[in-house]
Chains A and B, each alone.
Chain A
């Protein structure tokens, strides 16, 4: 990205010029409003959902357990989280390659929360012209009242956001009770305030600067773009030379293009750019300029689409290909990983068994013609109730586990670690072999797991 010259260079902290986006109604604005309601609805309501006796979605960090609807994840399931993150990244690549910055325009929390903060700002301070006037005017009682009301809305909403965030990690009903009785723990209070403050600062003040200066995705998304990617662009060929004209008059006969230079596309832009200067890194593809231009084109009686979603190929009157190596590779990988992920979750064993050979001794010959190996056996019960297990070992000849234990009781989520001696005839077979440990649940006949270990014995 080129560093702009002049005052804009220091705009992050110093002479940042505040953007006053004009409100606009249209197809894409309604789509974003829908996205805001759906996404924030999920965010604010999900922690209140119950699943049997417990919260449906809870990331219980102190207990090291994640509950997601009917599933419980343990630290041993970390691979699933990694897998999920890889799927999320690939999905982002895929949708960026196909549709451009769809994520930024409709789904990014920064966009979604900024939108709600703008709604509150509009509700308290009025539309764009009123806000501009209010900010330029002197501090009157009315200005103070409007600004205080906005701050009240913002702070309340931000605190509720922080509270909800912590509610994903601490049962939200208990958390609500402790808020009401002023009994929040220090960490809970810290994170409520921290997340609330982050929301307030990012959505209330930083806004488009987060996208411009802080967001890593904004910097590398162009690597996923090609000439067939959907971008929001101004049709220069049709629009230029721009200029005012009489309503309903034919621009071509006056030697003009369709753009009447009303600058609505600039006024609605949340990042304050002029889309007519071409594709810019600041553009978050929110499509507000499309809505604005379409409504103006309707008024002056020209066809819509002077600013529109299109591709570089289409702009040059060439064919846009959806299926191309980039989308096929991203899409193929995405589909394969998603199917694999679903299958792995469905087939996930509720129990795991680790067998570790004792490192200190190779083997021990007993006086009566047997050989012993010592192992540490770790049983992890990932199911949601206590289970009883039996353990056995199989090899080329008969193996005995010592001491003999009829059943191992393992509580839900607990790891049971126990030393075990395995004994067999000293010279049958000769030398080392691979033996198999089998763990079976007595409470659930479907639950069993196996693991292999080396057994050492005398070679002659």
Chain B
């Protein structure tokens, strides 16, 4: 991050925005797949032993939290991949 923006700041922003889009979108697809497979095999209510948190009360809540969790994990993985691949070639 330099104070002086590079000459092709607009192009750079474009590439960055496009990478962000690809990361968000690919992790969304992966999260949808992971949610489907995970909750096909695991009934969230059967896991609620002990004192589950309040939001664990309905299956839909657990599905939704699970989905956003998978999305986050996918987002981290995709961002790291992008970051490592980029550092390797461009800097």
Contacts and interface: CB of A to CB of B under 8 A. Distances in A.
A14 B59 contact: no
B21 A213 contact: yes
B57 to A, nearest CB: 12
A2 B26 CA distance: 20
B77 interface: no
Given A64-B43, A75-B41, A12 B14 contact: yes
Contacts of B13: 10, 14
B21 A12 contact: yes
B15 interface: yes
A31 interface: no
Contact of B11 (A10, A75, A213): A10
Given A61-B59, A78-B41, A14 B21 contact: no
Contacts of B18: 10, 12-13, 213
A62 interface: yes
Contacts of B10: 10, 14
Interface in A65-90: 75, 78, 81
A217 B34 CA distance: 19
A13 B14 contact: yes
Among B29, B43, B60, the most chain A Cβ lie within 10 Å of the Cβ of B60
Mostly helix, strand, loop or mixed at chain A's interface?
helix
Contacts of B60: 61-62, 187
Contacts of B15: 9-10
Contacts of B22: 213
A173 B18 CA distance: 41
B17 A10 contact: yes
Contact of A75 (B14, B21, B29, B43): B43
Contacts of B64: 187
A10 B14 CA distance: 5
A62 B59 contact: yes
What DSSP secondary structure best describes chain B's contact surface?
A: helix
Interface string A110-138: 00000000000000000000000000000
Interface string A11-49: 111100000000000000000000000000000000000
Contacts of A180: none
A12 B17 contact: yes
B63 interface: yes
A290 B55 CA distance: 56
B91 to A, nearest CB: 19
A223 interface: no
B40 A81 contact: yes
A9 B10 CA distance: 10
B59 A214 contact: no
Nearest to A214: B25
Contacts of A216: 26, 29
A64 B36 CA distance: 12
B89 interface: no
B30 to A, nearest CB: 11
A62 B58 contact: yes
Contacts of A61: 59-60, 63
Given A10-B17, A12-B18, A13-B14, A75 B40 contact: yes
A216 B27 CA distance: 12
Contacts of B21: 12-13, 213-214
B63 to A, nearest CB: 7
Nearest to A63: B59
A7 to B, nearest CB: 9
A356 to B, nearest CB: 15
A9 B14 CA distance: 7
A14 B60 CA distance: 38
Nearest to B36: A81
A78 B41 CA distance: 8
Interface in A335-390: none
A41 to B, nearest CB: 26
B65 to A, nearest CB: 12
Nearest to B29: A216
A413 to B, nearest CB: 12
24 contacts: A10-B10, A10-B11, A10-B13, A10-B17, A12-B14, A12-B17, A12-B18, A13-B14, A13-B17, A13-B18, A13-B21, A14-B10, A61-B59, A61-B60, A62-B58, A78-B37, A78-B40, A78-B41, A81-B40, A187-B60, A213-B18, A213-B21, A213-B22, A216-B26
Given A64-B59, A75-B43, A216-B26, 15 more contacts: A10-B10, A10-B17, A10-B18, A12-B21, A13-B17, A14-B10, A14-B14, A14-B17, A62-B58, A62-B59, A75-B41, A213-B18, A213-B22, A214-B25, A216-B29
